[in-house]
Each structure stands twice: as C-alpha cells, then as structure tokens.
Amino acid sequence: MELPEVAVEELKENPFIVAQQQCDDCADIRNVDPGVREIIREPMQETHVSIPVRMDDGSIRVFKGFRVIHSTALGPAKGGIRFHPDETADTVRALAAWMTWKCSLLELPLGGGKGGVICNPKEMSAGELERLSRGYVDRVWQVIGPDKDIPAPDVYTNPQIMAWMMDQYSKIAGKNQFGVITGKPLRIGGSSGRHDATARGGLYVLREAARNCRLNLRGATLAIQGFGNAGSYVASLARELFGCCVVAVSDSRGAVYNSIGLDPQLLGEHKRVTGSVVDYPGTERISQAELLELDVDVLCPCSLENVITAGNASKIRAGIVAEFANGPTTPEADSILYDKGVHLLPDFLCNAGGVTVSYFEMVQNMNMFYWEEKEIHARLDKKMTAAYDSVLDISREYKVNMRRAAYIVAVRRVAEAMQLRGWV
C-alpha cells in the first residue's frame, strides 16, 4: 500500500504519518504479507475521553485524554501516559505503534499502547494533578488491566502520578492491583533501576555502537537536546559509566555550551533552582538549532518529535546520533544521515530500556519477589546488547540504515505471531 502524497511540512507535524511511512518502508523491503501490512498500519483500538476536574479555585475544567492500543499480537499492550499541552491523538497513535516495535525488538511478550492527556502540568497544583490522574483512570479503567494494557510514566508524568492511578484502579477493582501500572514508587511495587532505565539502556546501546565505530567513549563529546528526566540521566550516566564529556545541553527555554565540558550534577541543581539550564555559570548560550549542529562525537535527542529534519540533517556533524526521544528524526532526514555515514541508533532501540525494566517490574509484581538493582542492570544490559547486535546484523545484510533494520527485525516477529494466531 502506498502512503498518500503528503507535503514534507505535514509529515513533520504528524508523527503518525511518519510512523506509517517507516513501517511501509520496512514492508516494502521484506515483502510483508498484504494482510499483515493492512493491520499493522492502524491501531487496534482507541479510547477518547473527557475528564472533568475540579480546580483549586472551585471551577471545573474538562481535559481531553486518549488511550490507544496498536497491537496485542505478542501480548498485552504496554506504554506510557503523557501529560502535555500539545498532545494529539496522532502523536499517541504514533507512540503506540513505536511501542509495538520496541517490545518486539527487545523480545518482550508485550504489544504497543500509549496514552495522553492534553494539559500543562507545570501550571497545575499537586491536588489538581491527583484529581486529573484519578479522573483519567475513571474514564479508561475498562480498557486497561494487568493482562490487557499496562500504562507507565512518560513525558511530564512520574512515579507519584502512577501511584495515584494504580490506587484508583485498585479501588475500582476492589483489591490491590499493583500490576496494572509500572513505574511506581518502590514502596508500592516499583522496581529498582526504573528511574534511569531509559538512559542506562540507551547508553548500553551507545557503548556497543562506539565499539562498532571504533570510538573511545572516554573523553568523547556529547550534545544533549532535552535536559528532562531522560536527558539529565544520559548526561550523568555517560560521564559516570564511560567518562564522556557533555559539552552542550538544552531545555524548553534554550541551550548552553562549554567546549571543555559541563558538570551534569551541578547543571541539574542549577535547573532545579532556576527552572532552566540557561545562564548556567561559565557557559555560552546557543540556540536549539546550533546545539543539533555542533561538531561532537555523539548527539543525543532526548526531547520530543521531529527535531532532525530534511532541513537540518545535512548540517549534523555528530558521528553517532542516539535517539533517546521518540520520533526525533523524520524519514527524509534518516536517508540524509545514512548517506553522510552517521551511525544512527533508532528510538525504539535506543530508548527501550524504560519498557524493558517496566517489563521486569511486571514480572516482579506477578511473582511478589523483587530483584536487586545490580541484577536489573545486568538483565537490562543483556537485552539491549542483544537487540543492538540483531539490528546491526540486519543493517549489514540488507545494506539499509539502522532504523529500517530495526523495523525489519521487529515487524518480522509481530507478523509471525499474527500468522501463528490465524489473524492473516
């Protein structure tokens, strides 16, 4: 099936069309069964809800929310919940699809789901966020569950929000249901190692990529676009684990640069006090665009979608691009980077550490037995390394970029499950 003709600008603004295009590219290379292709291009199920919340001033606001299941061919759906003012149904659809491929690539017995609420958490009190979190569960509880669809934290959600959601679901079910949500606080069924899992898992992949590219990570320069949860852990762990030198970071207010390196811990403290990395002492303020185009060894997009496009891909000077964010690179940019010789680590490989440790959390909840953090790290390392190796092998075999290779691996596994189940 051909993708409808869409202007480049529209592709940039619609991540779901990007996700479909990426999937179609893989299907063309692998000659995927037409029935499989038809099914995997669209979500299996969507739930759109309106959530009334009493605000602190006594007024009622109605928030729009979503929960999308893309596929359950390999197992129950799994995916985070975003609270974001720019959330859209198409963004959630794309993220649910990417979760399908992420779980498949890591050989997790899970499918892809995603949720979101259109709101600005930065403008809400803790009480308002709790009422919104519980209200969301009140609206979607029938479509989620430990053996149906298991949410987790994502952009602007956190363990406390997951705790409220789990508690609300447990009240509706009439019993404790710790397994309905992952990313919970440790005291109520959370897993050790979950807080930095996305960053740590991606850095294990980066380690393998550096070996393949013959790059010594000790002293290697990193630019990090997005200094939120993932980006801040990438910065601190890259320095701690491998001795990398973080020379630039950004957040929603701007970017800062220092050629001799930044101290991630002090930078994080500066952001906690001031609300931004901007004006961190001893740095030069640069634009987001300039950060992406810096002459560094590794560029780490850690924020939102579509930051590397056909318009700036030719200006990227990093040898490795590690996508800790979901969908930061458009299909046109992929081709440009590949032709330039950039070794790109695609999002649903690079940032799969979060869902992998979430899966570990599910296993621990089911068994009511919890692993030590050292064991979590070892299991995560093994999973991420195996996934990178499988993608690299396919990239070389088919002479395609790493994203297409990752899709080939992931789609093949989902297609096989669908055929074994008699769906096609």
Residue 49, both tokens:
């809800």
Residues 6+ away with beta carbon under 8 Å from 285:
254, 255, 256, 257, 278, 279
Q: What is the pLDDT of residue 3?
A: 30
Residue 227, both tokens:
């200094």
Sign of the CA dihedral with 113 first, then 300, 298, and 288 last? positive
Average pLDDT over residues 26-40: 87
Gap between the Cα atoms of 262 and 266, Å rounded:
8
Sign of the CA dihedral with 318 first, then 322, 327, and 328 last? negative
pLDDT digits (tens, 9 = 90+) for 239-280: 999 999 999 999 989 999 999 999 999 999 999 999 999 999
Instruction: Based on the fold, state whether residues 121 and 204 are members of the same structural domain.
Output: no
Instruction: Identify which of 179, 175, 142, 167 has the alpha carbon closest to the alpha carbon of residue 360.
Output: 179
Instruction: Based on the fold, state whether residues 172 and 268 are members of the same structural domain.
Output: no
Establish if 102 belongs to a structural domain: yes
The domain boundary residue, chosen from 350, 383, 402: 350
Instruction: Based on the fold, state whether residues 217 and 344 are members of the same structural domain.
Output: yes
Q: Which domain holds residue 108?
A: 43-176
Q: What is the largest CA-CA distance in the chain?
A: 62
Alpha-carbon torsion angle 408, 412, 415, 417, nearest 10: -140
Establish if 411 belongs to a structural domain: no
Instruction: Based on the fold, state whether residues 144 and 224 are members of the same structural domain.
Output: no
Gap between the Cα atoms of 253 and 424, Å rounded:
49
Q: What is the pLDDT of residue 11?
A: 40
> Which of 12, 78, 102, 114 is labelled catalytic?
114
Q: How far is residue 25 from each of residues 141, 219, 345, 417, measured CA to CA in Å?
A: 35, 37, 17, 20
Quick check: 8 pLDDT over 80?
A: no
How many domains are contained in the chain?
2
Gap between the Cα atoms of 53 and 59, Å rounded:
8
Residue 3, both tokens:
């993708």
The domain boundary residue, chosen from 327, 350, 373: 350
Instruction: Based on the fold, state whether residues 147 and 227 are members of the same structural domain.
Output: no
**Average pLDDT of the residues of the chain:** 94
Instruction: Based on the fold, state whether residues 246 and 275 are members of the same structural domain.
Output: yes
Instruction: Based on the fold, state whether residues 170 and 211 are members of the same structural domain.
Output: no
Q: What is the pLDDT of residue 5?
A: 32
Establish if 370 belongs to a structural domain: no
- Global pTM reads 0.91
**194 φ, ψ to 5°?**
-75, -30
Q: What is the pLDDT of residue 305?
A: 78
Quick check: 293 pLDDT over 80?
A: yes
Gap between the Cα atoms of 253 and 276, Å rounded:
7
Instruction: Based on the fold, state whether residues 203 and 323 are members of the same structural domain.
Output: yes
Q: Is 114 a catalytic residue?
A: yes
Average pLDDT over residues 193-198: 94
CATH number for the domain harbouring residue 246:
3.40.50.720
Establish if 318 belongs to a structural domain: yes
The domain boundary residue, chosen from 350, 377, 407: 350
End-to-end CA distance of the chain: 16
Establish if 406 belongs to a structural domain: no
Q: What is the pLDDT of residue 13?
A: 59
Stretch among 23-37, 123-137, 194-208 having the lowest mean pLDDT = 23-37
Average pLDDT over residues 352-373: 96
CB atoms within 10 A of CB 31: 8
DSSP 8-state secondary structure symbol assigned to residue 416: H
Instruction: Based on the fold, state whether residues 169 and 214 are members of the same structural domain.
Output: no
Length of the chain: 424
Gap between the Cα atoms of 377 and 358, Å rounded:
13
CB atoms within 10 A of CB 350: 31
CATH number for the domain harbouring residue 79:
3.40.50.10860
**10 pLDDT tier (thresholds 50, 70, 90):** very low
Instruction: Based on the fold, state whether residues 287 and 233 are members of the same structural domain.
Output: yes
Establish if 20 belongs to a structural domain: no
Establish if 392 belongs to a structural domain: no
Q: What is the pLDDT of residue 23?
A: 84
Establish if 413 belongs to a structural domain: no
Instruction: Based on the fold, state whether residues 111 and 251 are members of the same structural domain.
Output: no
**Contact assessment for residue 21 and residue 11, using Cβ atoms and an 8 Å cutoff:** yes
Instruction: Based on the fold, state whether residues 245 and 306 are members of the same structural domain.
Output: yes
Quick check: 287 pLDDT over 90?
A: yes
pLDDT digits (tens, 9 = 90+) for 75-119: 999 999 999 999 999 999 999 999 999 999 999 999 999 999 999
Cα 84 from chain centroid (whole Å): 15
Strand partners, 150: 78
